[in-house]
Chain A
Amino acid sequence: MKILIKNATIVDDNSTWHLQVVDVLLENGKIKKIDKKLSKTGTTIDGTNCYLSIGWYDMRALFGEPGLEYKETLDTGLEAAKAGGFTGISLFPNTEPVLQTKNDIAFVKNQTSRALTEVHPIAAVTKDCKGEDFSEMNDLKKAGAVAFSDGYKTIEHEDILMRTLMYLQKFDGILIHKPENKRLNMFGQMHEGPVSTSLGMKGLPAMAETITVLRDLELLKYAGGNLHLTAMSSADSIDLIRKAKKAGLGVTCDVSSYQTSFVDQDLTGFETNLKVSPPFREKKDKKAIIKGLKDGTIDVLTSGHVPHDEESKNLEFDLADAGIIGLQTVASNVVELMQDVGIEKLIAALTSNPRNILKLDIPTIEVGSEVNLTLLDPLEKWELNAGTNKSASKNSPYWNKTIQGKVKFVARKQQYYID
């Protein structure tokens, strides 16, 4: 099987072809040739104005299998991941049951072994993600857990977080933690500020995130180890992480790509598809996220994919569940950010940075290397709707809206997907 990608701009700073416009020939799962002009052969894909990078990696997605298959199965989730341009993905453990035993990890790996998108399960730190008793982290690592996290559940007790950071050091493991102070956020529905005040809604103060980031950084300073703070949303948190990195702490962080696309003012119509955790905050927070991506404080862009069935979303705002399906719309967020952040930084945040943090091999775009590629068309306009959506859920603020930016081609080894 031969595939020829014509006229694409390579974005891969490990490649000798970085930022050059070239033709790339793929054959039998390998990159066969790269050159300024290759003669037509096999299936040809026009890459004019498109960016060809190593395959995108999503460091934070949540599917519903096992237990919540009506929200997302592994199959439907992986279809969405493929169409969104991801050749690798790490899955949060918040399923039912939680991913916390060797069998759970093996189940996910076996079910997904044939997919184009390579799946790396993240195992729970504590049993049922309750923040109390540890899971058998060493054994889970051996079974294939790529990292450890209680996912969307914050570890409330300082001692548990501290000991996790210590315990994981035996195998240089990484703790992924979502910082949130539950007490300060109690009954909160959206970002606390002028908008929540005028809507009479109980707020989620940015400080509830920041105060936990501060706590986590102090614990990291004491315990050592690797801490990845996930789903950042507040300007002050990003400042704290910037300073901690300067001071040499082993901390990294990510944001959901849609976090750069909305602010709290978009919620005045009580739109439940904009209910997300952490919530959309103010313009200053959005600016801080963009700055953080630009200066490298924020290492990783994630899809923040959280699927919900219609019954969890089509109801009163305070009763609706928080979450957005993000896998297929990361491309359009990337396009929105291109001018402010630059394509190279964005691609790194979607490819090499998450793999570095998770200590995974990083593919390259060189002749002879194994195929692991994503081709982004930044100009294509399309609509996310029942015809184009691959997820089992449709809880997206982009639903039935025209957006710009789409993944045109994605391939790993012998498998490929052409849009």
Chain B
Amino acid sequence: MQELSQKHLLGIKDLTADDIHLIFETADSFKEVINRPIKKVPSLRDITIANVFFENSTRTKLSFELAEKRLSADIINFSSSNSSVKKGETLLDTVNNILAMKVDMVVMRHASPGAPHFLSKHIDANIVNAGDGTHEHPTQALLDTFSIREKLGDVQGKKVLIVGDILHSRVALSNIFALQKLGAEVKVCGPKTLLPKYIETLGVQVELDLKKALNWCDVANVLRIQLERQQIKYFPSLREYSLFYGVNKALLDGLDKEIVVMHPGPINRGVELNSDVADSDHAIILDQVENGVAIRMAVLYLLAGKGAG
């Protein structure tokens, strides 16, 4: 059996293109499985997975839980909207307490960039990063690129636009790394205040005009405006944002070609994406959600194959 090069999934940065292709191929089989009448396989029987979420999450957590259940893993859940430190217990203590109950894998979301990397230096269990602050969200990028591959046949050579709040987005960063590893061209678009100053050093192009950017791309991945992660004022109002960076049907109708529209959810309808696009044939948003389960099954399955220790 082919193996991943990594014991953990901390970020796309650490994966090779071969790793990503292996995850895709594995996800292909699992996608077939979850569309059968009996959706469950015994692959992770006797494996216990802890879903440890230090930040609010609805869909990522549901998606991981479902993936774990489809693989017949045993699951425990820990959620705390505060970072654990505020309760007086450190992250390391919290996780070690969970691991003392003989857990094999940890799926963690945390507000601090690098929190899963920190953990990986101290514990033996396999770690899956389910989002670390503004750093990475690797399974989201895998499901996004998997969905592009499914829709357009291949990621190689495609032009992908990421629109919106790049500065606070772990989805953007992981997508940039994944798309580049798979040979796509990446451009980002948004108010300059929401683009990291040095974003071009990552090999992506910058366009401030949304219509020009949309005309360039094959796929537009529209990001949620992360109001909760913005600590300072970056633009005057949501109204002005949606006027200049909101994607709507009129805008898409005015383009020279048909493009695919993605969104990692949850959508702020009428802000970054209008309903007339979100619910149209352009959008593959619900395919992304379905693919999320298959991708997460693939990741968990492959990491379990690597074993702990």
In the complex, whether A270 has a CB less than 8 A from a CB of chain B is yes
Among B55-63, B112-120, B153-161, B280-288, the stretch in contact with A: B112-120
**Which of B90, B132, B133, B173 sits near A315, CB closer than 8 Å?**
B90
Judge whether B135 and A200 touch: CB under 8 Å: yes
- List A contacts of B113 (CB < 8 A): 189, 199-201, 270, 317-318
In the complex, whether B199 has a CB less than 8 A from a CB of chain A is yes
A197-226 toward B: CB 8 Å interface, digit per residue (1/0)? 111111101000000000000000000000
In the complex, whether B35 has a CB less than 8 A from a CB of chain A is no
In the complex, whether B232 has a CB less than 8 A from a CB of chain A is yes
**Which of A189, A193, A269 sits near B198, CB closer than 8 Å?**
A193
How far is it, in angstroms, between the C-alpha of A196 and the C-alpha of B196 when the chains are bound? 10
In the complex, whether A319 has a CB less than 8 A from a CB of chain B is yes
In the complex, whether B170 has a CB less than 8 A from a CB of chain A is yes
In the complex, whether A316 has a CB less than 8 A from a CB of chain B is yes
Judge whether A315 and B198 touch: CB under 8 Å: no
Question: Which B residues lie at the A interface, using CB under 8 A?
Answer: 13, 83, 85, 90-92, 110, 112-115, 117-118, 132-136, 170, 173, 196-199, 201-202, 231-232
- List B contacts of A197 (CB < 8 A): 196-199, 201-202
- List A contacts of B132 (CB < 8 A): 200
In the complex, whether A382 has a CB less than 8 A from a CB of chain B is no
Residues of A309-330 whose CB lies within 8 A of B: 311, 314-319
Chain A's closest residue to B86 (CB) is A319
In the complex, whether A192 has a CB less than 8 A from a CB of chain B is yes
Residues of A145-200 whose CB lies within 8 A of B: 186-187, 189, 192-194, 196-200
Judge whether B198 and A200 touch: CB under 8 Å: no
- List A contacts of B135 (CB < 8 A): 199-201
Judge whether B115 and A316 touch: CB under 8 Å: yes
Judge whether A316 and B173 touch: CB under 8 Å: no
Q: What are 5 A-B interface contacts by the 8 Å CB criterion?
A: A186-B232, A187-B231, A197-B196, A201-B134, A319-B112
Given contacts A186-B231, A187-B231, contact A317 B114 (CB under 8 A): yes
The smallest C-beta distance from A181 to any residue of chain B, in angstroms, reads: 14
Given contacts A199-B113, A201-B135, contact A316 B202 (CB under 8 A): no
Judge whether B134 and A200 touch: CB under 8 Å: yes
How far is it, in angstroms, between the C-alpha of A358 and the C-alpha of B113 when the chains are bound? 42
- List A contacts of B136 (CB < 8 A): 200
The smallest C-beta distance from B304 to any residue of chain A, in angstroms, reads: 25
- List B contacts of A194 (CB < 8 A): 198, 201-202
How far is it, in angstroms, between the C-alpha of A46 and the C-alpha of B115 when the chains are bound? 49
- List B contacts of A192 (CB < 8 A): 197-198
With A192-B197, A270-B114, A270-B117 already in contact, 20 other A-B pairs whose C-beta atoms are closer than 8 Å: A186-B232, A193-B198, A194-B198, A194-B201, A194-B202, A197-B199, A199-B113, A199-B114, A200-B113, A200-B133, A201-B113, A201-B135, A270-B118, A311-B90, A314-B92, A315-B91, A316-B110, A316-B114, A319-B83, A319-B112
The smallest C-beta distance from A287 to any residue of chain B, in angstroms, reads: 19
Chain B's closest residue to A272 (CB) is B118
How far is it, in angstroms, between the C-alpha of A86 and the C-alpha of B128 when the chains are bound? 48
Judge whether B117 and A198 touch: CB under 8 Å: no
Judge whether B134 and A202 touch: CB under 8 Å: yes
- List A contacts of B202 (CB < 8 A): 194, 197-198
The smallest C-beta distance from B53 to any residue of chain A, in angstroms, reads: 15
How far is it, in angstroms, between the C-alpha of A251 and the C-alpha of B116 when the chains are bound? 45
Residues of A267-305 whose CB lies within 8 A of B: 269-270
How far is it, in angstroms, between the C-alpha of A126 and the C-alpha of B114 when the chains are bound? 37
- List A contacts of B110 (CB < 8 A): 316
- List B contacts of A317 (CB < 8 A): 112-114, 118
How far is it, in angstroms, between the C-alpha of A115 and the C-alpha of B85 when the chains are bound? 39
Chain A's closest residue to B85 (CB) is A319
7 closest residue pairs by CB, A with B: A270-B114, A200-B135, A316-B112, A194-B201, A200-B134, A197-B198, A318-B112
- List B contacts of A200 (CB < 8 A): 113, 132-136, 170, 173
* Highest count of chain A CB atoms <10 Å: which of B90, B114, B135, B170: B114
* Highest count of chain A CB atoms <10 Å: which of B110, B112, B135, B136: B112
The smallest C-beta distance from A283 to any residue of chain B, in angstroms, reads: 14
Given contacts A199-B113, A270-B114, contact A318 B133 (CB under 8 A): yes
**Which of B13, B85, B91, B115 sits near A198, CB closer than 8 Å?**
B13
The smallest C-beta distance from A236 to any residue of chain B, in angstroms, reads: 15
How far is it, in angstroms, between the C-alpha of A199 and the C-alpha of B134 when the chains are bound? 8
Chain B's closest residue to A183 (CB) is B232
The smallest C-beta distance from A113 to any residue of chain B, in angstroms, reads: 40
Residues of A225-265 whose CB lies within 8 A of B: none
- List A contacts of B13 (CB < 8 A): 198
How far is it, in angstroms, between the C-alpha of A8 and the C-alpha of B92 when the chains are bound? 50
The smallest C-beta distance from A264 to any residue of chain B, in angstroms, reads: 11
How far is it, in angstroms, between the C-alpha of A194 and the C-alpha of B173 when the chains are bound? 13
How far is it, in angstroms, between the C-alpha of A311 and the C-alpha of B92 when the chains are bound? 11
